[in-house]
Amino acid sequence: MKRRATGLVAGLALLLAGCGATPTDTASSGSPAGSSSTTSSAVTGEVTVLAAASLTKTLTALAESFEEANPGATIRLSFGSSTTLAQQIAQGAEADLFASAGTTALEQLGDVKPTDTATIAKNTLEIATPTDNPGKVTGLADLARADVDVVLCAESVPCGTAADQVLTKAGVAAHVVSREVDVSATLAKVTLGEADAAVVYHSDVVSARGKVAGVEIPAEQNTTLAYPLARFGDDAAARAFAAFLAGPDGLKALQDAGFLSP
């Protein structure tokens, strides 16, 4: 059931006609995938999902929930930098679904065109510090101090590009000591005590409760990223899982994890 991402050209459309998907809805049922009605048959098959590192905890939990409700379904998850994952898909990596942080990574898909896309969440940036905040960071301006070691995502990945935009908007030249491959690696520098601060997603601060403290970035200096979910091909299991992610269960889980509504 696993499908390879193809160059199928199709108009982009919403992943679902409604927003009330249940884990047992199938796209072949009498109701559209995503409707509130249930069906007598559970979803079966394997779905390969490539997703932004910031979605690791939430998508893992949602995949487990989906599999529990659909014992015949298997969700294969792979997380990393959205840009890197998009390039892998363009080079032939297998993917039924691709969940990206920000929309720019979709430009890296090259000739591989999604069957459809839909925004499943949004996110904003926040400063993460160790729980005791040794650098006494209270805002973006403090990131320019020579005694505050700052870690950012690499310039080429969405969280790094967004952090650079925010710092430029605020007129802050941060004291950056390293740039990491993705947001998980960036946050790890703070949780391990190897940095005084990092600019990451708000959802990452929420997911690391008890390990980091968060310092909000004012809205006028901040930025918001959309999280598009792209689907390739027309596999029924992939359509069902996409509808589940975009439906009420997925929305609630994402919001509980600190993501914003689409």
Q: What angle do CA 93, 19, 241 make, to 5 degrees?
A: 30
Q: Which residues contact 206 (CB under 8 A, 6 or more apart)?
A: 214, 257, 258
Domain-located, residue 210: yes
> Quick check: is 2 in a domain?
no
Q: How far apart are CA 154 and CA 127, in angstroms?
A: 16
- Confirm whether 138 is domain-assigned: yes
How far apart CA 113 and CA 231 sit, in angstroms, is: 9
For residues 193 and 101, give the distance between their C-alpha atoms in angstroms, rounded to a whole number: 26
Q: CATH number of the domain that 151 lies in?
A: 3.40.190.10
Confirm if 10 and 115 have CB atoms less than 8 A apart: yes
Indicate whether 87 belongs to any domain.
no
Q: Which residue, among 81, 46, 77, has the nearest Cα to 63 in the 3D structure?
A: 77
* Cβ-contact 96, 49 below 8 angstroms: yes
Instruction: Confirm whether 78 is domain-assigned.
Output: no
Structural domain harbouring 153: 124-224
Number of domains in the chain: 1
CA distance 252 to 262: 11
213 within a domain of the structure (yes/no): yes
Asked, for residue 76, whether it belongs to a domain, the answer is: no
21 belongs to a structural domain? no
Residuewise pLDDT in 10s, the chain (262 residues): 343 443 333 333 333 333 333 333 333 333 333 333 333 468 999 999 999 999 999 999 999 999 999 999 999 999 999 999 999 999 999 999 999 999 999 999 999 999 999 999 999 999 999 999 999 999 999 999 999 999 999 999 999 999 999 999 999 999 999 999 999 999 999 999 999 999 999 999 999 999 999 999 999 999 999 999 999 999 999 999 999 999 999 999 999 999 999 9
